[in-house]
Amino acid sequence: MRIEEDVKLDYKDVLIRPKRSTLGSRKEVDLQRGYTWRNWQAEDMSMEQIRPDSRHWRGVPIMASNMDGVGTFAMADKLAEAKIFTCLVKTYSVNELVGYFDNQYSERTEFVAMSIGITDRDEQKFRDVYEQADGNLKYVCIDVANGYSTRFRDFVADFKIRYPNIVIIAGNVVTGEMTEELILAGADIVKVGIGPGSVCTTRIQTGVGYPQLSAVMECADAAHGLGGHIIADGGCTCPGDVAKAFAGGADFVMLGGMLAGHDEGGGEVITKTYETNEVTKTDDGFYESVYEEKQFVTFYGMSSKAANDKHFGGLKEYRSSEGREVLVPYRGAVGSTIQDILGGVRSTCTYAGAIRLKHLNKCTTFVRCTQTHNAVYEKNTIGN
């Protein structure tokens, strides 16, 4: 047994120090980034000639997670309008995926990934969609809870050989050496995060994990040294956390909980009635309790019992649930949430003096802190 003594950080442990800047307004901040995929290869020269820009991506580097209620077709189409990326849930059928990708919308090719696991069935499913999608499927998210198995690494390496012209997103890991290994095996983008998620109970069930901001900083450093990229996946609770992830070196930030509860996620809206602390006086002088209705949508981790019941006929006997099921407030269309997140990150850039999101990492000095914000009236909030 060994103990690592140096301090590892979460988003809640730091703030970004403001700096003098010449930026006039947050309107001036450019949130788009352009990336070149290290491992993408044209299948043959003609393809490189037909689509010379296939090696590159440009957009707003936020990703919707491949979770139920988040990684849906409707969410992907809405977010693509803002040049934001989506990893689809693994549970869409071949026909649904072919129908989605086999069309004239180039946004679906550039801003949407099909997600798979590492079984033979997953590989076959990918092949079926790939062969029928008429060249419109470009991104795959190979997603397992524990990205440290040799089986996972070998699957990524084999996949790269079979599909050289597919951009591979692979994860999850939290350390530099495994990030490097996956990039050398063929991944273009490594997904970073074990246990930080809003509906994740891995750390409780297993004691395994790594403070997310440090994981992002260390994996970004490792990936960038090889020309690869990383996604900070999980643990963002507010736009400030998204900004801290970018400031720590993340190329993309993946969101689950922050995008849950919207129309585009497709969940059923549940209305609950609560008795409040207030009373009203009736015309005949009596007092009556005041009730209020609140609307919610269920949201659950993809390793939770709820997800296993829904998709796999229950938890296998050798597994325990590593996710929870929660009710999140129903929030209507996702557009205003996106505006809120992007507005926050733009504002971060003006405080840090970064005219482009690309510069935020270099412009950032983190200050360690014991309290990030004043929560005294948080429960009394009636608007913002």
Contacts to ligand 5GP by CB under 6 A: 65, 67, 145, 172, 193, 195, 197-200, 202, 233-236, 254-258, 301-304, 322-323
- Nearest residue to 167 (alpha-carbon basis) of 175, 176, 177, 159: 159
Nearer to ligand 5GP, 260 or 363 (CB): 260
Nearer to ligand 5GP, 236 or 360 (CB): 236
Q: What b/e sequence results for 260-297 when a residue is b if at least 16 CB atoms lie within 10 Å of its CB, and e otherwise?
A: bbbbbbebeeeeeeeeeeeeeeeeeeeeeeeeeeeebb
Residue 287 CB, shortest distance to ligand 5GP, in Å, is 42
Residue 326 CB, shortest distance to ligand 5GP, in Å, is 10
- State the Cα–Cα distance between residues 358 and 249, nearest whole angstrom: 9
Catalytic annotation, pick one of 141, 200, 219, 236 = 200
Nearer to ligand 5GP, 79 or 254 (CB): 254
Dihedrals φ, ψ of 371, to 5°? Answer: -150, 125
Residue 358 CB, shortest distance to ligand 5GP, in Å, is 23
Nearer to ligand 5GP, 235 or 240 (CB): 235
Q: Burial, 21: exposed, middle or buried (Cβ in 10 Å; 0-12, 13-18, 19+)?
A: middle
- State the Cα–Cα distance between residues 308 and 316, nearest whole angstrom: 9
- State the Cα–Cα distance between residues 253 and 234, nearest whole angstrom: 8
- DSSP 8-state secondary structure symbol assigned to residue 208: -
Residue 303 CB, shortest distance to ligand 5GP, in Å, is 3
Residue 299 CB, shortest distance to ligand 5GP, in Å, is 8
The rounded radius of gyration (Å) of the Cα atoms in the chain is 22
Nearer to ligand 5GP, 179 or 198 (CB): 198
Q: Burial, 336: exposed, middle or buried (Cβ in 10 Å; 0-12, 13-18, 19+)?
A: exposed
238 noted as active-site residue: no
Q: Burial, 87: exposed, middle or buried (Cβ in 10 Å; 0-12, 13-18, 19+)?
A: buried
Q: How far is CA 77 from CA 66, 100, 282, in A?
A: 14, 10, 50
Residue 206 CB, shortest distance to ligand 5GP, in Å, is 9
- State the Cα–Cα distance between residues 211 and 368, nearest whole angstrom: 14
Nearer to ligand 5GP, 29 or 253 (CB): 253
Active site residues: 200
